[in-house]
Amino acid sequence: MRVSLASVIILLVGTCCYALSIKEDLSPSREDLLRDEIQEALETGVVNPFLKHVLQTLKLETLLETSSYESDEEPEPYDPIYCALCNVGMDAVIHAVHNGTDPDVITDLLVELCVDLGIFNYNFCEHFLRDIEDQLFWVMENRANLTGEDFCGMLLGILGCETDNPDRIWEVALPDENKPPVVDPVIPPDGTPVMKVLHLSDTHYDPHYLPGSNAECGERLYCCRAESGPVETPEAAAGKWGDYRSCDAPQWLLQAMYDHIKIAHQDLDFIIWTGDLIPHNIWNTTKEGNLQIIKDCVQMLADNFPGVPVFPAIGNHESHPVASFPQPYIDNEFDISWLYDEITALWSTWLPPDVAHSVAYGAYYSTLIKPGLRVISMNSNYCYGLNWWLVYDDIDPAEELDWIAKELHAAEASGEMVYLIAHIPPGNSDCTRTWSHEFNKIVFRYESTVAGLFYGHNHLDQIMLFYDPVETTRPYHVAYVAQSQTPYTNLNPGYKVYTVDGDYAGSSYRILDHENWILDLDEVNQSDNPRFFLLYTAQDAYNMTDLTPKSWDDLLTQMKEPNSTVFDTFYINHVKAARPRLEKGCGDFCKSSLLCRLAVSDSSDHSHCDNL
Protein backbone atom coordinates (compact mmCIF):
# COMPACT_ATOMS: atom_id res chain seq x y z
CA MET A 1 0.00 0.00 0.00
CA ARG A 2 1.31 3.45 -0.88
CA VAL A 3 -0.53 5.63 1.66
CA SER A 4 0.28 5.74 5.37
CA LEU A 5 -1.60 7.50 8.12
CA ALA A 6 1.63 9.29 8.87
CA SER A 7 0.83 11.25 5.73
CA VAL A 8 -2.76 11.72 6.90
CA ILE A 9 -1.46 13.50 10.00
CA ILE A 10 0.47 15.94 7.87
CA LEU A 11 -2.47 16.41 5.54
CA LEU A 12 -4.77 17.18 8.45
CA VAL A 13 -2.48 19.91 9.69
CA GLY A 14 -1.87 21.21 6.20
CA THR A 15 -5.55 21.34 5.32
CA CYS A 16 -6.30 23.22 8.53
CA CYS A 17 -4.02 25.85 7.13
CA TYR A 18 -5.59 25.44 3.72
CA ALA A 19 -9.00 26.33 5.08
CA LEU A 20 -7.63 29.49 6.58
CA SER A 21 -5.88 30.55 3.41
CA ILE A 22 -8.89 29.84 1.15
CA LYS A 23 -6.41 28.95 -1.62
CA GLU A 24 -4.86 32.40 -1.63
CA ASP A 25 -1.15 33.03 -1.64
CA LEU A 26 0.54 32.24 1.63
CA SER A 27 1.85 35.71 2.52
CA PRO A 28 4.02 36.30 5.60
CA SER A 29 1.06 37.84 7.42
CA ARG A 30 -1.07 34.80 6.64
CA GLU A 31 1.72 32.51 7.82
CA ASP A 32 1.65 34.31 11.17
CA LEU A 33 -2.13 33.97 11.32
CA LEU A 34 -1.94 30.29 10.51
CA ARG A 35 0.66 29.64 13.17
CA ASP A 36 -1.45 31.48 15.75
CA GLU A 37 -4.60 29.55 14.84
CA ILE A 38 -2.83 26.19 14.87
CA GLN A 39 -1.04 26.99 18.11
CA GLU A 40 -4.34 27.85 19.75
CA ALA A 41 -5.87 24.59 18.56
CA LEU A 42 -2.88 22.64 19.88
CA GLU A 43 -3.01 24.37 23.25
CA THR A 44 -6.78 24.11 23.73
CA GLY A 45 -7.49 20.92 21.82
CA VAL A 46 -10.40 22.72 20.14
CA VAL A 47 -10.81 23.46 16.43
CA ASN A 48 -13.00 26.35 15.38
CA PRO A 49 -16.33 24.99 14.00
CA PHE A 50 -15.96 27.20 10.96
CA LEU A 51 -12.64 25.55 10.12
CA LYS A 52 -14.25 22.14 10.38
CA HIS A 53 -17.02 23.22 8.06
CA VAL A 54 -14.58 24.50 5.45
CA LEU A 55 -12.41 21.40 5.77
CA GLN A 56 -15.40 19.16 5.20
CA THR A 57 -15.94 20.80 1.81
CA LEU A 58 -12.46 19.76 0.64
CA LYS A 59 -12.00 16.52 -1.26
CA LEU A 60 -9.32 15.03 0.97
CA GLU A 61 -9.94 11.57 -0.41
CA THR A 62 -8.27 12.61 -3.68
CA LEU A 63 -5.03 12.99 -1.74
CA LEU A 64 -5.31 9.50 -0.28
CA GLU A 65 -5.98 7.42 -3.36
CA THR A 66 -3.41 4.70 -4.02
CA SER A 67 -3.78 4.76 -7.82
CA SER A 68 -4.75 8.30 -8.64
CA TYR A 69 -3.28 8.10 -12.15
CA GLU A 70 -5.96 5.61 -13.23
CA SER A 71 -8.57 8.08 -14.36
CA ASP A 72 -10.41 8.85 -17.56
CA GLU A 73 -9.96 12.56 -17.04
CA GLU A 74 -7.01 14.54 -15.80
CA PRO A 75 -7.66 15.62 -12.20
CA GLU A 76 -6.75 19.00 -10.84
CA PRO A 77 -3.03 18.96 -10.10
CA TYR A 78 -2.01 18.98 -6.49
CA ASP A 79 -1.91 22.63 -5.48
CA PRO A 80 1.66 23.48 -4.40
CA ILE A 81 0.12 25.39 -1.53
CA TYR A 82 -0.59 22.06 0.19
CA CYS A 83 3.15 21.62 0.75
CA ALA A 84 3.63 25.24 1.87
CA LEU A 85 0.74 24.94 4.28
CA CYS A 86 1.94 21.58 5.53
CA ASN A 87 5.30 23.19 6.27
CA VAL A 88 3.63 25.93 8.34
CA GLY A 89 1.38 23.48 10.15
CA MET A 90 4.18 21.11 11.04
CA ASP A 91 6.39 23.96 12.19
CA ALA A 92 3.63 24.79 14.67
CA VAL A 93 3.34 21.16 15.82
CA ILE A 94 7.11 20.80 16.25
CA HIS A 95 7.19 24.09 18.15
CA ALA A 96 4.39 22.89 20.42
CA VAL A 97 6.15 19.60 21.13
CA HIS A 98 9.40 21.37 22.00
CA ASN A 99 7.54 23.76 24.26
CA GLY A 100 6.00 21.04 26.38
CA THR A 101 2.55 20.53 24.83
CA ASP A 102 1.26 17.14 25.94
CA PRO A 103 1.48 14.77 22.93
CA ASP A 104 -1.88 13.31 23.94
CA VAL A 105 -3.47 16.72 23.41
CA ILE A 106 -2.08 16.85 19.87
CA THR A 107 -3.19 13.30 19.14
CA ASP A 108 -6.66 14.01 20.54
CA LEU A 109 -6.93 16.92 18.13
CA LEU A 110 -5.81 14.83 15.17
CA VAL A 111 -8.21 12.02 16.05
CA GLU A 112 -11.05 14.54 16.25
CA LEU A 113 -10.16 16.02 12.86
CA CYS A 114 -9.68 12.58 11.30
CA VAL A 115 -13.20 11.60 12.34
CA ASP A 116 -15.01 14.92 11.84
CA LEU A 117 -13.61 15.37 8.36
CA GLY A 118 -14.83 11.92 7.38
CA ILE A 119 -11.35 10.73 6.42
CA PHE A 120 -11.72 7.56 8.51
CA ASN A 121 -14.01 6.40 11.30
CA TYR A 122 -13.27 6.69 15.01
CA ASN A 123 -12.10 3.10 15.31
CA PHE A 124 -9.43 3.63 12.67
CA CYS A 125 -8.36 7.15 13.67
CA GLU A 126 -8.11 6.40 17.38
CA HIS A 127 -6.22 3.12 17.14
CA PHE A 128 -3.80 4.00 14.37
CA LEU A 129 -2.88 7.45 15.64
CA ARG A 130 -2.32 6.09 19.15
CA ASP A 131 -0.09 3.37 17.72
CA ILE A 132 2.22 5.83 15.96
CA GLU A 133 2.07 8.65 18.53
CA ASP A 134 5.10 7.69 20.62
CA GLN A 135 7.41 7.18 17.66
CA LEU A 136 6.38 10.34 15.83
CA PHE A 137 6.79 12.57 18.84
CA TRP A 138 10.11 10.95 19.74
CA VAL A 139 11.36 11.87 16.26
CA MET A 140 10.14 15.46 16.71
CA GLU A 141 11.73 15.78 20.13
CA ASN A 142 15.09 14.25 19.27
CA ARG A 143 15.91 15.41 15.75
CA ALA A 144 17.94 18.58 16.08
CA ASN A 145 16.83 21.59 14.02
CA LEU A 146 13.86 19.74 12.59
CA THR A 147 11.60 21.93 10.43
CA GLY A 148 8.14 21.51 9.00
CA GLU A 149 9.69 21.50 5.53
CA ASP A 150 11.88 18.55 6.53
CA PHE A 151 8.87 16.66 7.81
CA CYS A 152 6.61 17.37 4.85
CA GLY A 153 9.38 17.04 2.27
CA MET A 154 10.20 13.54 3.47
CA LEU A 155 6.74 12.15 4.22
CA LEU A 156 4.84 13.85 1.41
CA GLY A 157 7.26 13.44 -1.46
CA ILE A 158 4.44 11.48 -3.06
CA LEU A 159 2.55 14.80 -3.34
CA GLY A 160 5.56 16.66 -4.71
CA CYS A 161 6.70 18.23 -1.43
CA GLU A 162 10.44 18.83 -1.07
CA THR A 163 12.92 20.10 1.46
CA ASP A 164 15.87 22.32 0.56
CA ASN A 165 17.77 21.29 3.69
CA PRO A 166 21.33 20.56 2.44
CA ASP A 167 21.64 17.86 5.11
CA ARG A 168 19.07 15.86 3.13
CA ILE A 169 21.39 15.68 0.12
CA TRP A 170 24.13 13.11 0.52
CA GLU A 171 26.28 10.81 -1.59
CA VAL A 172 27.53 7.26 -1.46
CA ALA A 173 31.19 6.90 -2.31
CA LEU A 174 31.91 4.37 -5.04
CA PRO A 175 35.20 2.46 -5.29
CA ASP A 176 37.79 4.57 -7.07
CA GLU A 177 38.01 2.46 -10.21
CA ASN A 178 36.87 3.17 -13.73
CA LYS A 179 33.73 1.54 -15.04
CA PRO A 180 34.70 -1.28 -17.39
CA PRO A 181 33.59 -1.06 -21.03
CA VAL A 182 29.96 -2.07 -21.45
CA VAL A 183 29.36 -5.06 -23.68
CA ASP A 184 25.75 -5.65 -24.60
CA PRO A 185 24.63 -9.18 -23.75
CA VAL A 186 24.28 -11.50 -26.72
CA ILE A 187 20.84 -13.02 -27.20
CA PRO A 188 21.41 -16.77 -26.87
CA PRO A 189 20.31 -18.99 -29.76
CA ASP A 190 17.37 -21.35 -29.47
CA GLY A 191 18.26 -24.51 -27.61
CA THR A 192 20.56 -22.76 -25.15
CA PRO A 193 19.92 -23.91 -21.55
CA VAL A 194 17.43 -21.79 -19.61
CA MET A 195 16.24 -21.49 -16.04
CA LYS A 196 12.72 -20.87 -14.73
CA VAL A 197 12.20 -18.39 -11.89
CA LEU A 198 8.95 -17.80 -10.00
CA HIS A 199 8.32 -14.26 -8.76
CA LEU A 200 5.79 -13.87 -5.93
CA SER A 201 4.98 -10.52 -4.36
CA ASP A 202 2.52 -8.73 -2.08
CA THR A 203 1.04 -11.86 -0.55
CA HIS A 204 -1.00 -9.91 2.05
CA TYR A 205 -2.35 -13.04 3.71
CA ASP A 206 -5.41 -12.46 5.89
CA PRO A 207 -5.99 -15.32 8.36
CA HIS A 208 -9.30 -13.71 9.37
CA TYR A 209 -10.86 -13.35 5.93
CA LEU A 210 -14.52 -14.39 6.14
CA PRO A 211 -16.52 -15.33 3.02
CA GLY A 212 -19.91 -13.65 3.00
CA SER A 213 -18.82 -10.87 5.37
CA ASN A 214 -19.27 -7.21 4.58
CA ALA A 215 -16.98 -6.09 1.75
CA GLU A 216 -18.45 -2.56 1.83
CA CYS A 217 -17.85 -1.72 5.49
CA GLY A 218 -17.13 1.71 6.98
CA GLU A 219 -13.37 1.19 7.03
CA ARG A 220 -11.96 2.88 3.92
CA LEU A 221 -8.89 0.68 3.83
CA TYR A 222 -10.09 -2.78 4.86
CA CYS A 223 -13.15 -5.03 5.12
CA CYS A 224 -14.15 -8.70 4.66
CA ARG A 225 -13.85 -9.77 8.29
CA ALA A 226 -16.32 -10.77 10.98
CA GLU A 227 -15.94 -7.32 12.57
CA SER A 228 -16.78 -5.56 9.28
CA GLY A 229 -20.43 -5.17 10.27
CA PRO A 230 -23.70 -6.43 8.82
CA VAL A 231 -24.14 -7.16 5.13
CA GLU A 232 -26.90 -4.85 3.92
CA THR A 233 -27.23 -6.12 0.34
CA PRO A 234 -26.30 -9.41 -1.36
CA GLU A 235 -23.83 -7.52 -3.55
CA ALA A 236 -21.93 -6.35 -0.45
CA ALA A 237 -21.00 -9.89 0.61
CA ALA A 238 -17.35 -10.92 0.24
CA GLY A 239 -16.66 -13.68 -2.26
CA LYS A 240 -15.37 -17.05 -1.09
CA TRP A 241 -12.09 -16.81 -3.00
CA GLY A 242 -11.37 -13.15 -2.36
CA ASP A 243 -12.94 -9.88 -3.35
CA TYR A 244 -12.21 -6.96 -5.66
CA ARG A 245 -12.88 -4.49 -2.86
CA SER A 246 -10.61 -3.60 0.07
CA CYS A 247 -9.88 -7.17 1.11
CA ASP A 248 -6.81 -9.42 1.09
CA ALA A 249 -6.00 -13.05 0.33
CA PRO A 250 -7.53 -15.91 2.35
CA GLN A 251 -5.41 -18.98 3.05
CA TRP A 252 -7.29 -21.19 0.59
CA LEU A 253 -6.70 -18.71 -2.25
CA LEU A 254 -2.94 -18.82 -1.66
CA GLN A 255 -3.01 -22.61 -1.34
CA ALA A 256 -4.90 -22.93 -4.61
CA MET A 257 -2.26 -20.74 -6.27
CA TYR A 258 0.56 -22.90 -4.92
CA ASP A 259 -1.24 -26.11 -5.90
CA HIS A 260 -1.54 -24.80 -9.44
CA ILE A 261 2.10 -23.67 -9.61
CA LYS A 262 3.31 -27.11 -8.47
CA ILE A 263 1.52 -28.72 -11.41
CA ALA A 264 2.05 -26.06 -14.10
CA HIS A 265 5.69 -25.21 -13.30
CA GLN A 266 7.55 -28.31 -12.21
CA ASP A 267 10.83 -26.97 -13.60
CA LEU A 268 11.35 -24.04 -11.21
CA ASP A 269 14.98 -23.35 -10.36
CA PHE A 270 14.27 -20.83 -7.59
CA ILE A 271 11.73 -18.36 -6.23
CA ILE A 272 11.97 -14.59 -5.69
CA TRP A 273 9.57 -13.33 -3.00
CA THR A 274 9.49 -9.52 -2.75
CA GLY A 275 7.62 -8.85 0.47
CA ASP A 276 4.43 -7.50 2.04
CA LEU A 277 2.92 -10.48 3.80
CA ILE A 278 0.70 -8.62 6.29
CA PRO A 279 -2.90 -7.60 5.43
CA HIS A 280 -3.97 -3.97 5.08
CA ASN A 281 -5.78 -3.63 8.43
CA ILE A 282 -3.08 -1.21 9.53
CA TRP A 283 -5.03 0.24 12.46
CA ASN A 284 -5.18 -3.01 14.45
CA THR A 285 -1.94 -4.86 13.80
CA THR A 286 0.40 -5.99 16.58
CA LYS A 287 3.99 -7.18 16.68
CA GLU A 288 2.86 -10.64 17.75
CA GLY A 289 0.18 -10.82 15.07
CA ASN A 290 2.55 -9.71 12.32
CA LEU A 291 5.18 -12.25 13.35
CA GLN A 292 2.62 -15.05 13.31
CA ILE A 293 1.48 -14.14 9.80
CA ILE A 294 5.10 -14.02 8.59
CA LYS A 295 5.71 -17.45 10.15
CA ASP A 296 2.58 -18.86 8.52
CA CYS A 297 3.52 -17.47 5.09
CA VAL A 298 7.07 -18.83 5.30
CA GLN A 299 5.78 -22.23 6.41
CA MET A 300 3.20 -22.34 3.62
CA LEU A 301 5.83 -21.59 0.96
CA ALA A 302 8.33 -24.06 2.43
CA ASP A 303 5.72 -26.83 2.65
CA ASN A 304 4.56 -26.34 -0.93
CA PHE A 305 7.98 -26.02 -2.58
CA PRO A 306 10.36 -28.29 -0.66
CA GLY A 307 13.84 -28.24 -2.11
CA VAL A 308 13.24 -25.09 -4.19
CA PRO A 309 15.47 -22.18 -3.06
CA VAL A 310 13.55 -19.07 -2.02
CA PHE A 311 15.11 -15.60 -1.85
CA PRO A 312 12.89 -13.20 0.16
CA ALA A 313 12.89 -9.43 0.60
CA ILE A 314 11.16 -7.45 3.34
CA GLY A 315 8.07 -5.30 2.64
CA ASN A 316 6.80 -2.12 4.27
CA HIS A 317 3.85 -3.89 5.92
CA GLU A 318 5.96 -6.33 7.92
CA SER A 319 6.63 -3.83 10.72
CA HIS A 320 4.32 -2.57 13.45
CA PRO A 321 3.22 0.16 13.15
CA VAL A 322 3.15 -0.13 9.37
CA ALA A 323 6.10 1.46 7.53
CA SER A 324 8.01 2.02 10.79
CA PHE A 325 11.64 0.98 10.23
CA PRO A 326 14.03 2.66 12.68
CA GLN A 327 17.73 2.76 11.94
CA PRO A 328 19.70 -0.17 13.43
CA TYR A 329 21.33 2.13 16.00
CA ILE A 330 17.94 2.99 17.58
CA ASP A 331 18.16 0.73 20.64
CA ASN A 332 15.40 2.15 22.82
CA GLU A 333 11.79 0.96 23.06
CA PHE A 334 11.47 1.41 19.29
CA ASP A 335 14.25 -1.05 18.45
CA ILE A 336 13.38 -3.00 15.28
CA SER A 337 15.25 -6.14 16.33
CA TRP A 338 11.95 -7.82 17.32
CA LEU A 339 11.27 -8.11 13.58
CA TYR A 340 14.76 -8.52 12.15
CA ASP A 341 15.74 -11.27 14.61
CA GLU A 342 12.61 -13.23 13.73
CA ILE A 343 13.04 -12.99 9.96
CA THR A 344 16.70 -13.96 10.42
CA ALA A 345 15.50 -17.22 11.93
CA LEU A 346 12.67 -17.72 9.44
CA TRP A 347 14.69 -16.93 6.33
CA SER A 348 17.30 -19.47 7.45
CA THR A 349 14.81 -21.97 6.02
CA TRP A 350 16.44 -21.11 2.68
CA LEU A 351 19.47 -18.88 3.32
CA PRO A 352 22.95 -19.91 4.49
CA PRO A 353 24.18 -19.06 8.02
CA ASP A 354 26.70 -16.49 6.79
CA VAL A 355 23.95 -13.96 5.94
CA ALA A 356 22.42 -13.98 9.42
CA HIS A 357 24.44 -10.99 10.63
CA SER A 358 23.36 -8.63 7.83
CA VAL A 359 19.72 -9.76 8.01
CA ALA A 360 19.65 -9.18 11.78
CA TYR A 361 21.32 -5.79 11.30
CA GLY A 362 19.41 -4.30 8.37
CA ALA A 363 17.12 -6.99 6.86
CA TYR A 364 19.33 -7.26 3.77
CA TYR A 365 21.74 -9.91 2.52
CA SER A 366 23.94 -11.10 -0.35
CA THR A 367 24.37 -14.75 -1.25
CA LEU A 368 25.09 -16.99 -4.22
CA ILE A 369 22.15 -18.50 -6.04
CA LYS A 370 24.64 -20.75 -7.78
CA PRO A 371 28.27 -20.30 -8.83
CA GLY A 372 28.45 -17.22 -11.02
CA LEU A 373 25.03 -15.82 -10.03
CA ARG A 374 24.42 -13.84 -6.84
CA VAL A 375 21.29 -12.29 -5.34
CA ILE A 376 21.36 -9.10 -3.28
CA SER A 377 18.16 -8.61 -1.31
CA MET A 378 17.67 -5.00 -0.24
CA ASN A 379 15.59 -3.44 2.52
CA SER A 380 13.90 -0.71 0.48
CA ASN A 381 12.05 0.57 3.55
CA TYR A 382 15.12 2.72 4.05
CA CYS A 383 14.07 4.62 0.93
CA TYR A 384 10.35 4.64 1.80
CA GLY A 385 9.23 8.24 2.22
CA LEU A 386 6.36 7.22 4.50
CA ASN A 387 8.82 5.71 6.98
CA TRP A 388 8.91 8.60 9.47
CA TRP A 389 12.27 7.44 10.86
CA LEU A 390 13.80 8.95 7.72
CA VAL A 391 12.66 12.32 9.05
CA TYR A 392 15.00 11.65 11.96
CA ASP A 393 17.94 10.47 9.82
CA ASP A 394 17.83 9.63 6.12
CA ILE A 395 21.57 9.48 5.37
CA ASP A 396 22.11 5.99 3.91
CA PRO A 397 20.18 4.22 6.68
CA ALA A 398 21.86 1.03 7.87
CA GLU A 399 24.73 1.93 5.50
CA GLU A 400 22.80 -0.13 2.99
CA LEU A 401 23.78 1.63 -0.24
CA ASP A 402 27.44 1.66 0.76
CA TRP A 403 27.14 -2.08 1.43
CA ILE A 404 25.41 -2.71 -1.92
CA ALA A 405 28.16 -0.86 -3.79
CA LYS A 406 30.84 -2.95 -2.06
CA GLU A 407 28.98 -6.19 -2.75
CA LEU A 408 28.62 -5.31 -6.44
CA HIS A 409 32.29 -4.34 -6.61
CA ALA A 410 33.32 -7.69 -5.16
CA ALA A 411 30.97 -9.48 -7.56
CA GLU A 412 32.47 -7.59 -10.49
CA ALA A 413 35.96 -8.62 -9.40
CA SER A 414 34.85 -12.25 -9.11
CA GLY A 415 33.10 -12.31 -12.46
CA GLU A 416 29.67 -12.90 -10.89
CA MET A 417 26.35 -11.66 -12.23
CA VAL A 418 23.88 -10.22 -9.71
CA TYR A 419 20.12 -10.05 -9.25
CA LEU A 420 18.95 -7.11 -7.14
CA ILE A 421 15.60 -7.70 -5.41
CA ALA A 422 13.57 -5.44 -3.13
CA HIS A 423 10.00 -4.51 -2.34
CA ILE A 424 9.69 -0.82 -3.33
CA PRO A 425 10.78 0.15 -6.87
CA PRO A 426 13.36 2.98 -6.80
CA GLY A 427 11.47 5.07 -9.37
CA ASN A 428 8.31 5.24 -7.26
CA SER A 429 7.39 8.66 -5.93
CA ASP A 430 7.33 7.16 -2.42
CA CYS A 431 11.04 6.30 -2.63
CA THR A 432 13.02 9.30 -1.35
CA ARG A 433 14.83 11.29 -4.00
CA THR A 434 18.37 11.20 -2.67
CA TRP A 435 18.29 7.47 -1.90
CA SER A 436 16.81 6.74 -5.32
CA HIS A 437 19.37 8.89 -7.10
CA GLU A 438 22.31 7.28 -5.29
CA PHE A 439 20.93 3.79 -5.94
CA ASN A 440 20.65 4.58 -9.66
CA LYS A 441 24.22 5.82 -9.61
CA ILE A 442 25.33 2.46 -8.20
CA VAL A 443 23.34 0.43 -10.74
CA PHE A 444 24.77 2.50 -13.60
CA ARG A 445 28.36 1.99 -12.40
CA TYR A 446 27.84 -1.78 -12.18
CA GLU A 447 25.48 -2.20 -15.13
CA SER A 448 27.57 -5.04 -16.58
CA THR A 449 27.42 -6.92 -13.28
CA VAL A 450 23.70 -6.43 -12.62
CA ALA A 451 21.77 -9.06 -14.57
CA GLY A 452 18.28 -8.28 -13.30
CA LEU A 453 16.21 -6.11 -10.96
CA PHE A 454 12.95 -7.30 -9.37
CA TYR A 455 10.36 -5.47 -7.26
CA GLY A 456 6.76 -5.53 -5.99
CA HIS A 457 4.76 -3.04 -3.88
CA ASN A 458 2.58 -1.58 -6.64
CA HIS A 459 0.33 -4.68 -6.94
CA LEU A 460 0.27 -4.08 -10.71
CA ASP A 461 2.25 -5.75 -13.49
CA GLN A 462 4.80 -3.40 -15.04
CA ILE A 463 8.41 -2.68 -15.94
CA MET A 464 10.75 0.17 -15.03
CA LEU A 465 13.43 1.39 -17.43
CA PHE A 466 16.85 2.68 -16.32
CA TYR A 467 18.38 5.30 -18.62
CA ASP A 468 22.01 6.29 -18.97
CA PRO A 469 22.47 9.63 -17.11
CA VAL A 470 24.97 10.83 -19.72
CA GLU A 471 23.75 9.25 -22.96
CA THR A 472 20.20 9.91 -21.91
CA THR A 473 18.42 8.13 -24.75
CA ARG A 474 20.15 4.82 -23.99
CA PRO A 475 18.18 2.44 -21.76
CA TYR A 476 20.69 0.24 -19.99
CA HIS A 477 18.51 -1.87 -17.68
CA VAL A 478 14.91 -2.86 -17.15
CA ALA A 479 13.39 -3.79 -13.79
CA TYR A 480 10.42 -6.11 -13.46
CA VAL A 481 7.68 -5.12 -11.03
CA ALA A 482 5.56 -8.16 -10.22
CA GLN A 483 1.81 -8.23 -9.77
CA SER A 484 0.34 -9.04 -6.37
CA GLN A 485 -0.86 -12.36 -5.01
CA THR A 486 -3.60 -10.45 -3.18
CA PRO A 487 -6.62 -9.04 -5.03
CA TYR A 488 -6.34 -5.77 -3.03
CA THR A 489 -7.78 -3.66 -4.60
CA ASN A 490 -9.83 -4.27 -7.76
CA LEU A 491 -7.31 -6.79 -9.05
CA ASN A 492 -7.09 -10.48 -9.86
CA PRO A 493 -4.56 -12.58 -7.92
CA GLY A 494 -1.50 -13.46 -9.96
CA TYR A 495 2.14 -14.45 -10.23
CA LYS A 496 4.99 -14.20 -12.73
CA VAL A 497 7.44 -16.79 -14.14
CA TYR A 498 10.64 -15.72 -15.92
CA THR A 499 12.55 -17.67 -18.54
CA VAL A 500 16.19 -16.81 -17.87
CA ASP A 501 19.33 -17.28 -19.92
CA GLY A 502 20.44 -20.50 -18.30
CA ASP A 503 23.10 -22.10 -16.19
CA TYR A 504 26.11 -22.48 -18.49
CA ALA A 505 29.54 -20.93 -18.83
CA GLY A 506 29.23 -17.34 -20.04
CA SER A 507 25.51 -17.04 -19.39
CA SER A 508 24.20 -13.49 -19.19
CA TYR A 509 21.42 -14.60 -16.81
CA ARG A 510 19.22 -11.95 -18.45
CA ILE A 511 15.45 -12.32 -18.69
CA LEU A 512 14.49 -13.84 -22.04
CA ASP A 513 10.72 -13.87 -21.55
CA HIS A 514 8.13 -13.82 -18.81
CA GLU A 515 4.67 -15.27 -18.46
CA ASN A 516 1.93 -13.98 -16.20
CA TRP A 517 -0.81 -16.11 -14.67
CA ILE A 518 -4.01 -14.97 -12.97
CA LEU A 519 -7.19 -16.20 -11.33
CA ASP A 520 -10.36 -14.37 -12.41
CA LEU A 521 -12.27 -13.51 -9.22
CA ASP A 522 -15.62 -13.14 -10.96
CA GLU A 523 -15.28 -16.56 -12.48
CA VAL A 524 -14.01 -18.41 -9.41
CA ASN A 525 -16.53 -16.89 -7.02
CA GLN A 526 -19.28 -18.08 -9.36
CA SER A 527 -17.87 -21.51 -10.24
CA ASP A 528 -16.08 -22.30 -6.95
CA ASN A 529 -13.38 -23.84 -9.11
CA PRO A 530 -10.03 -22.02 -8.85
CA ARG A 531 -8.75 -21.99 -12.44
CA PHE A 532 -5.45 -20.16 -12.84
CA PHE A 533 -4.67 -19.43 -16.48
CA LEU A 534 -1.95 -17.82 -18.59
CA LEU A 535 -2.86 -14.19 -19.24
CA TYR A 536 0.08 -13.47 -21.55
CA THR A 537 3.73 -13.97 -22.33
CA ALA A 538 5.70 -10.81 -22.99
CA GLN A 539 7.25 -11.66 -26.36
CA ASP A 540 3.97 -12.88 -27.84
CA ALA A 541 1.74 -10.16 -26.37
CA TYR A 542 3.96 -7.29 -27.50
CA ASN A 543 5.50 -8.87 -30.61
CA MET A 544 9.01 -8.51 -29.16
CA THR A 545 11.96 -10.49 -30.46
CA ASP A 546 13.77 -10.10 -27.14
CA LEU A 547 13.38 -8.39 -23.77
CA THR A 548 16.44 -6.16 -23.88
CA PRO A 549 16.13 -2.63 -22.46
CA LYS A 550 16.22 -1.29 -26.03
CA SER A 551 13.26 -3.45 -27.02
CA TRP A 552 11.25 -2.25 -24.01
CA ASP A 553 12.16 1.34 -24.88
CA ASP A 554 10.92 0.75 -28.44
CA LEU A 555 7.68 -0.62 -27.00
CA LEU A 556 7.29 2.50 -24.88
CA THR A 557 7.63 4.59 -28.04
CA GLN A 558 4.89 2.54 -29.71
CA MET A 559 2.59 2.81 -26.71
CA LYS A 560 2.74 6.59 -26.50
CA GLU A 561 1.17 6.96 -29.95
CA PRO A 562 -2.51 8.00 -30.01
CA ASN A 563 -4.94 5.07 -30.16
CA SER A 564 -2.10 2.62 -29.63
CA THR A 565 -3.47 -0.92 -29.62
CA VAL A 566 -0.30 -2.21 -27.99
CA PHE A 567 -0.94 0.18 -25.10
CA ASP A 568 -4.46 -1.20 -24.79
CA THR A 569 -2.97 -4.68 -24.53
CA PHE A 570 -0.37 -3.51 -22.03
CA TYR A 571 -3.02 -1.91 -19.83
CA ILE A 572 -5.11 -5.08 -19.74
CA ASN A 573 -2.04 -6.99 -18.58
CA HIS A 574 -0.99 -4.19 -16.23
CA VAL A 575 -4.27 -4.49 -14.28
CA LYS A 576 -4.35 -8.29 -14.59
CA ALA A 577 -7.55 -8.18 -16.68
CA ALA A 578 -9.52 -7.24 -13.57
CA ARG A 579 -13.09 -6.31 -14.45
CA PRO A 580 -13.40 -3.21 -12.18
CA ARG A 581 -10.22 -1.67 -13.60
CA LEU A 582 -11.16 -2.45 -17.18
CA GLU A 583 -14.62 -0.98 -16.67
CA LYS A 584 -13.03 2.20 -15.35
CA GLY A 585 -10.72 2.41 -18.33
CA CYS A 586 -7.57 4.44 -18.87
CA GLY A 587 -7.94 7.89 -20.41
CA ASP A 588 -5.26 10.24 -21.69
CA PHE A 589 -4.03 11.34 -18.27
CA CYS A 590 -4.02 7.75 -17.02
CA LYS A 591 -2.02 6.70 -20.07
CA SER A 592 0.63 9.42 -19.84
CA SER A 593 1.02 8.88 -16.10
CA LEU A 594 1.39 5.14 -16.50
CA LEU A 595 3.96 5.49 -19.27
CA CYS A 596 5.84 7.94 -17.08
CA ARG A 597 6.00 5.33 -14.34
CA LEU A 598 7.59 2.91 -16.78
CA ALA A 599 10.25 5.44 -17.78
CA VAL A 600 11.40 6.57 -14.32
CA SER A 601 13.87 4.64 -12.17
CA ASP A 602 15.22 7.71 -10.34
CA SER A 603 12.49 9.48 -8.37
CA SER A 604 14.52 12.71 -8.49
CA ASP A 605 14.50 12.79 -12.30
CA HIS A 606 11.29 12.70 -14.34
CA SER A 607 12.86 14.10 -17.52
CA HIS A 608 11.99 10.95 -19.48
CA CYS A 609 8.32 11.73 -18.94
CA ASP A 610 8.51 14.96 -20.90
CA ASN A 611 7.57 13.35 -24.22
CA LEU A 612 5.03 10.91 -22.84
Positions at the binding site for Zn(2+): 202, 204, 276, 316, 423, 457, 459
Nearest in space to 498 (alpha carbons), one of 412, 380, 369: 369
Which class for 408: exposed (0-12), middle (13-18), buried (19 or more C-beta within 10 A)? buried
Nearest in space to 257 (alpha carbons), one of 516, 488, 495: 495
Alpha-carbon span 393 to 72, nearest angstrom: 39
Alpha-carbon span 163 to 151, nearest angstrom: 8
Total residue length of the chain? 612
Nearest in space to 394 (alpha carbons), one of 380, 379, 382: 382
C-beta separation of 34 from 21 below 8 A: yes
Nearest in space to 478 (alpha carbons), one of 426, 414, 518, 437: 426
Alpha-carbon span 112 to 115, nearest angstrom: 5
Alpha-carbon span 16 to 468, nearest angstrom: 43
CA angle 594, 524, 256 (to 5 degrees): 90
Alpha-carbon span 130 to 132, nearest angstrom: 6
Beta strand 365-370 with 310-312: parallel, antiparallel or unpaired?
unpaired
- Provide the annotated binding site: 202, 204, 276, 316, 423, 457, 459
